[in-house]
Structure 1
Amino acid sequence: MWNQTIHSSGTRTVLRYNGSTMKGGLTPDQVHKIARLANLILTSEEVEKFAPQLSAILEFVSKLQKIPTKDVIPTSQVNGLENVYREDEIDKSRMLTQEDALANAPATHNGFFKVKAVFGE
């Protein structure tokens, strides 16, 4: 069931779903209300297409709302690690010499890879 609240300023409309099971899904009028809130203009075909999809989303949200979370500690991450960064180190065992790096290059010039120009003239 949808509840619509118009704030005292009259400039803001809030549409809330109260979490009850919706038998038969959303009505076309309810889909149009949601579309207006999203500043969308829907055709009647789009309303028919989106009504069951939005109903399924709301059913899922309704199930999520029923999950008991009273004793769950709010977290932004779950592994408990902080600042797990390694120091920047050069691993010379994994480095190629300039000669090795250029060994399979199709063309070189003064110790550098030689490539075709990538910019137009």
Structure 2
Amino acid sequence: MSTSDTKHPDLDAQTVSQIAHLARLSLNQTQSDEYAQSLNKILDMMESLKAIDTTGIEPLKSPFDTAQPLRADVVTERNHREAYQAVAPATQDGLYLVPRVIE
């Protein structure tokens, strides 16, 4: 069980706008308000999950009881490289040629 009983600080529209700016996203005031409400709901849900006592519960490596069957490792599609490279501006030896961007 979590020993941290501190509640997260509520996000406001201004904080969401600052985060959006750092992420180079453009949000208007209405969107910032909506995202702040949504994010606060998510954070509240995470806080309620922290309160669950998981003492004695082993972590799962998979939600399935048995190993998942692997599919056969066989080619199922044709090679389209020639068709794709036919419309490329420049190719050589099966590779795409691009302009040098670093000198």
TM bin, normalised by shorter chain, reads: 0.3 to 0.5
Question: Which structure is higher in strand share?
Answer: 1
TM-score w.r.t. structure 1 length? 0.42
TM-score w.r.t. structure 2 length? 0.47
- The structure with the larger Rg is 1
Q: Between the two structures, name the one with larger relative contact order (CA 8 Å, sep ≥ 6).
A: 2
